[in-house]
Chains A and B, each alone.
Chain A
Amino acid sequence: QSVLTQPPSVSAAPGQTATISCFGNRFNIGETYVSWYQQVPGEAPRLLIYDNYRRPSGTPDRFSASKSGTTATLDIAGLQTDDEGDYYCGAWDNSLSAGVFGGGTKLTVL
């Protein structure tokens, strides 16, 4: 059971926008910064977003993220088939003094 909660799956058509939510509590998302990762099957996870909304170099601006209270959201605009994969949110949890991840969301581009 993951500390952060994500929907198991999300699907959308090419060119559309997909939204993935990540639900936490006041000790993790509520108090610290959220990061997002993309994982293609058979590969290591890759950082997409850090500090709630910042994109590292290499992340296309089609990927955007935000946070409100204890919920974080990742938006992927102009969906491409290459965007298919698993997406994970992560954060620090001040009550656990540990990192935490969501259970992952499988994105399907129909």
Chain B
Amino acid sequence: QITLKESGPTVVAPTQSLTLTCSFSGFSLRTTGVGVAWIRQPPGKALEWLGLIYWTDIKHYSPSLRTRLTLTKDTSKNQVVLRMTNMDPLDTATYFCVHSLGFWSGSFYFDNCGQGTLVTVSS
């Protein structure tokens, strides 16, 4: 059974950085074809894809966030860390980490999702 859980601050001040940790179980980032992605959802709005890290440590980022976003993995701890710099109130959203598949078909989808964590950017 795959589970993922996001943790981190609930409030971040504008211009500060956000660090979220995704702790997962039921799969390993040593397994070929596996990735962990982050998506977010501002209140009342649509899903937004943020980034993806594969078992190979290859990373992909949303073009609009590429200069602000960094994903890292700790395979031994079964964790993926998201760091986003220069936070803005428009970054207020629920952040989800997901178990990503589709590598072998050149696609993207996720079959398991964390419960999400609401991050509010406010002073």
- Bound pair: A and B? yes
Residue of B nearest to A86 (CB): B46
Are A92 and B46 in contact, CB atoms less than 8 angstroms apart?
A: no
The B57-74 residues at the A interface (CB cut-off 8 A) are 60-63
Write the nearest CB–CB distance from A15 to chain B, whole angstroms.
Answer: 29
Of the four ranges (under 10, 10 to 19, 20 to 34, 35 or more), the interface on chain B belongs to 20 to 34
In-complex Cβ contact of B109 among A2, A39, A47, A98 (8 A)? A47
Contacting pair B102 A33 (CB below 8 A): yes
How distant is B37 from chain A, measured CB to nearest CB, in Å?
7
Residue A30 CB within 8 A of the other chain: no
Q: Give the top 9 A-B pairs by smallest Cβ distance, nearest first.
A: A35-B109, A33-B107, A99-B49, A99-B108, A92-B108, A44-B113, A50-B109, A32-B107, A101-B47
Q: Are A103 and B108 in contact (CB under 8 A)?
A: no
Residue of A37, A46, A90 ringed by the most chain B CB atoms within 10 A: A90
Determine if A50 and B101 form an interchain contact, defined as CB atoms under 8 angstroms apart. yes
Q: How many A-B residue pairs have CB under 8 A?
A: 78
* Chain A residues whose CB sits within 8 angstroms of the CB of B46 once the complex forms: 2, 88, 101-104
Task: Pick the most buried of A45, A91, A99, A103: most chain B CB atoms within 10 A of its CB.
Answer: A99
- Partner of B115 from the list A32, A44, A91 (CB cut-off 8 Å) is A44
Q: Does B24 make an interface contact (CB < 8 A)?
A: no
Q: Which of A90-110 contact B (CB under 8 A)?
A: 90-92, 94, 96-104
CB distance from B108 to the nearest CB of A (A): 4
Q: B111 to A99, Cβ gap below 8 A? A: no
A-B contact pairs, 9 of them (CB 8 A): A35-B102, A44-B113, A44-B115, A88-B46, A88-B47, A90-B108, A101-B46, A103-B46, A104-B46
Residues of chain A lying within 8 A (CB to CB) of residue B47: 37, 39, 45, 88, 90, 101, 104
Other A-B pairs, 4, CB within 8 Å; known A44-B114, A100-B49, A103-B46? A33-B105, A51-B105, A88-B46, A99-B60
Which residue, of A2, A39, A56, A98, has the highest number of chain B Cβ atoms within 10 A? A98
The reply to whether B107 and A98 contact each other, CB–CB distance below 8 Å, is no
